[in-house]
Amino acid sequence: MKVALLIVDMQKGCREETPCKSAFDSSVEYINEISQYFRKKNYPVVIIKDVEVGSPGSEEFECVDALAISDNDIVIHKQHCNAFWETELDNVLKNERIDGIIVSGFAAEHCVLFTYNGARERGYNVFLLQNGIAGLDEEEIRRIQLLRPIVNYQALEYFL
């Protein structure tokens, strides 16, 4: 299975709107570890940015400074909660022959969940990244992870 890591909406404007800033910051640390592992193994890392957070070039639109980004990462701009809706994401993943997706990022209750569902609807094997999901409500994050398959660093290391 060829797998891609999606990093959804880890933007400065998103961090500012969440009351769960420490959970957001913790998820960045975990995402950084996983993304470095993906890059080392030559698996795609896709940075997804929401244009509703701010216009491209604005401070709010940029990813948080703590997020590790590579020039080789694929960047997708989206207008809807589902990163597959009216974007080139599905075509990009198909061109890379991706059949598995790990979804991480913000907000668990919205864009992460909708992107997860969009990937499932398109036939991908999809998992949420344990400890790599941030949101507006920590209890809701736990509920979302209880009801969907999650994967952690050790499992990814074993399977990849």
Q: How far is CA 17 from CA 3, 87, 151, in A?
A: 30, 24, 27
Q: Is the peptide bond before 107 cis (omega within 30 degrees of 0)?
A: yes
| Burial class of 149 by CB neighbour count within 10 A (0 to 12, 13 to 18, 19+) | exposed
Render pLDDT for 33-86 as a digit per residue (tens, 0 to 9): 999 999 999 999 999 999 999 889 999 999 999 999 999 999 999 999 999 999
What is the Cα–Cα distance from 102 to 151, expressed in whole angstroms? 8
Render pLDDT for 108-129 as a digit per residue (tens, 0 to 9): 999 999 999 999 999 999 999 9
What is the homologous superfamily of the domain 3-159 according to CATH? Answer: Isochorismatase-like (3.40.50.850)
Provide the pairing of β-strand 100-105 with 125-133: parallel
